[in-house]
Amino acid sequence: MEKITECTDNNHTKTATRPKYVYPYRVSVVREHTDRYTRIDSSRTLNEVAKELLADAATERFLVFFLDSKNKILGFNEASVGSLNISIVNPRDTYRAAVIKGANAVVFAHNHPSGDITPSREDNESTKRLVESGKILGIRVLDSIIVGHDGYYSFADAGLIDQKG
């Protein structure tokens, strides 16, 4: 055990022991400087941004875009890479970077390599679960889209996501 000393106030110190092989862990976010931020004002805008990233993907990929209070994209994370027709989406992995970044809201996008934008039963269930998880975390989900070859499907446009949170 390693002895560590910590100052608790001006006149008092506390000594504690820490196991020899337990080390502190630090998570940080680094943002590349840019003067250009895209504002997500519609599912069409989200599709334009997401299609650039998903257009040529041969497997399903699930992206999370972090938004500020004015719905400008602060960054994004690829939360899941799947197979030809499925991607496992876990709320913990999906929201991890959004929480660290301090996102006010998120939008999701994933592709269907087949080009068919019809949501599967799994798409519907995972979207519901992610919206509920966002409510618990205090992060609004504004939309989730499926990107296809010739179009997209928006859960918000279909009335399946309440954008007011």
For residue range 35-64, list pLDDT tens digits in order: 567 899 999 999 999 999 998 888 999 999
Nearest CA-CA partner of 62 in 42, 90, 99, 28 = 90
Per residue in 93-120, pLDDT tens?
899 999 999 999 999 999 999 999 999 9
135 found inside a domain: yes
Residue 139 lies in a domain: yes
The total of structural domains in the chain comes to 1
Q: Is position 128 within any domain?
A: yes
In a domain, 15, yes or no: no
Residue 30 lies in a domain: no
The pTM of the full predicted model, rounded to 2 decimals, is: 0.78
Range of the domain at 116: 43-154
Is the residue at 5 inside a domain?
A: no
Q: What is the CATH number of the domain that holds 133?
A: 3.40.140.10
